[in-house]
Amino acid sequence: MNIFNLLEDPINGTTQNATCASRIGLETVNFAFVTKNGRTQAPPNPVDSTLATFTPDPQRDLFMNSGDHLNVSLRDTASGLRAVVNDLSTGQSGSMTASASNGFAQIQYDPTGTSCNAIPFNFHPMYSTSSEGTRVIWAAHTYNVAFSDEIGHFETCTGVKSIPATPFGVDAAGNPIGCPKGNKEEFGAEPTDGDDNFCFPASEALRIHINGCTDTNTGFDGLDYTPVWPDGNTSLHPTPFLFSSPLTGQDFNVNYQRVAFEADLPRIEFNTCNRSTGVGCTLIPTTDDGVPASFYPFFSAVSAGGACRWNLGTEMPNTTNDFGKNQGWGTLLSSTYLAFGGGGSTVQRINNFRNVMSSNRCPA
C-alpha cells in the first residue's frame, strides 16, 4: 500500500523546509506490504521508516505466485482505507489498513522551520465514487479508481565493468550508482547515457540474471519500449497480467458505467512535447536517438475463462477488442492546475492523452 503526499502550498508558493525535504523529499510516501495479519512489519511513514519497511518478510507478508487468481477489494473503515487481497489459487489472504495504529502518518507542514514530524493519521478516500472529475489536482494523471502499470524503469547495462551490489542502487553517500562508463545499454547496442542510474548487478536479480538500471528511462529505449510484452508466445514472453473491471456498491456488485484510458505521455516527453500547446506530444514517444520508440503498450479486452478481462501490453490470441491499439489512448487533454505561488490562480497544462468511452466495454 502506498499513500503519497506533496509537501507544498501552491497558493502561497512555499514548500517544506529544506532540512526535512533533504531527508524525506517533497513527494513523500507511506509504504507498507500487505501482510497476513493486517499489521505493518515496520513503520510505514517516511520519517520513521527503516530498511525493514521495504524488505519483504515471507513469514509476515502475503506472497503470491505467477498465475495466481486474486480477488482485491478496497473499502473505507473507521480506521482508514483497507485493502484486502484473497489469493483464490492458494487460499491465503492478506490486508493492510492505512491507519494511525499501523504507523501511517502525515508530515507536519513547516515551510520556514527545520522540523520533520510525523503526525499519526487515518487516511480515508476523498471521494465516494469515481468519475472524470474525481482527480488529485497536483498529480499529472486525472484518474481515481484505476489500474496503472508504471513502465520505463529498466535499462540493461552490458559490459566487463562491474556494478557493486547494494540494497537500493545507491552508494554509501546516497549517490545513484550508474552504469559504468565503457559498458553499454540496450544489450550492447549503444553506449551508456545519463538516465542509466540506480543500477544493480546480475547477482541481485531473482530470476533473469542480467545487469539492470532502474532510473526513469527518459530516452524511451529500455525493454519496456520494445515488443517483448506477453503475446501468447510463452516460449519467449511471460503470460499476461489480466484483470476484471472494478465493481462498486455496498456489496461490490455494480459495474461502473464508463471506462477511460489515460496515458501521461505529454508529461514525460521532455525532449519533444510542449505541454502548453500540445505541439510535439505523440502517442509513440521519441527516443534519445530522435526516432519513435519501437513499442508502447496499449489496453485491450480479452476473453478468459468465459469472462471479459483487461490486458495491458500487446494483442493476445484471445483479444476481442484492441480499441485501435495506441490510438485507443485518445486525444490530448488540457487540465486545470493551481499556479504555484499564484494566490489561487490557475494554469492549463497538457499532461495526458485520454479516451473516455460512453460505456463500460468490458464489464465484470
To the nearest whole percent, how much of the chain has pLDDT over 90? 93
Render pLDDT for 260-288 as a digit per residue (tens, 0 to 9).
999 999 999 998 999 999 999 999 999 99
Mean pLDDT of the chain: 96
Does residue 109 surpass a pLDDT of 90?
yes
Q: Is 133 contained in some domain?
A: no
Phi, psi of 7 (to 5 degrees): -90, 70
328 and 264 belong to one structural domain: yes
User: Residue 128's pLDDT band (boundaries 50, 70, 90)?
Assistant: confident
The SS3 of residue 307 is strand
103 and 201 belong to one structural domain: no
Grid cell at residue 125: 478516500
18 contacts: CB under 8 Å, gap ≥ 6: none
Q: What is the pTM of this model?
A: 0.93
Q: Is 179 contained in some domain?
A: yes
Q: Is 222 contained in some domain?
A: no
255 and 322 belong to one structural domain: yes
Q: Which domain holds residue 288?
A: 242-356
Q: How far apart are CA 338 and CA 361, in angstroms?
A: 34
CA-closest candidate to residue 214, choices 190, 191, 202, 197:
197
Q: What is the mean pLDDT of residues 307-318?
A: 96
Instruction: Please report how many Cα atoms fall inside a 13 Å half-sphere around the Cα of residue 172, on the Cβ side.
Output: 0
Render pLDDT for 234-257 as a digit per residue (tens, 0 to 9).
999 999 999 999 999 999 999 999
Does residue 187 surpass a pLDDT of 90?
no
- Structural domain total, the chain: 3
Render pLDDT for 5-42 as a digit per residue (tens, 0 to 9).
999 999 999 999 999 999 999 999 999 999 999 999 99
299 and 252 belong to one structural domain: yes
Does residue 207 surpass a pLDDT of 90?
no
Query: Helical H runs in the chain?
Result: 18-24, 265-268
Q: Is 226 contained in some domain?
A: no
Q: Is 235 contained in some domain?
A: no
Q: How far apart are CA 313 and CA 296, in angstroms?
A: 8
* Cα separation values, 333 from 166, 278, 304, Å: 41, 9, 32
Does residue 188 surpass a pLDDT of 90?
no
Q: What is the mean pLDDT of residues 41-52?
A: 97
112 and 189 belong to one structural domain: no
The SS3 of residue 340 is coil
pLDDT at position 206, please? 86
Q: Is 227 contained in some domain?
A: no
DSSP states of 124-145: --S-SS--TT---TTSS---SS
Q: Is 25 contained in some domain?
A: yes
CA-closest candidate to residue 36, choices 7, 62, 3, 71:
62
Q: What is the mean pLDDT of residues 308-313?
A: 97
Render pLDDT for 141-182 as a digit per residue (tens, 0 to 9).
999 899 999 999 999 999 999 999 998 899 999 899 999 999
Q: Is 335 contained in some domain?
A: yes
User: Residue 354's pLDDT band (boundaries 50, 70, 90)?
Assistant: very high
Residue that the C-alpha cell 517483448 belongs to: 228
**DSSP 8-state class, residue 178:** P
14 and 98 belong to one structural domain: yes
pLDDT at position 129, please? 85
Which of 10 and 66 is assigned the larger pLDDT?
A: 10
CA-closest candidate to residue 143, choices 154, 156, 127, 155:
127
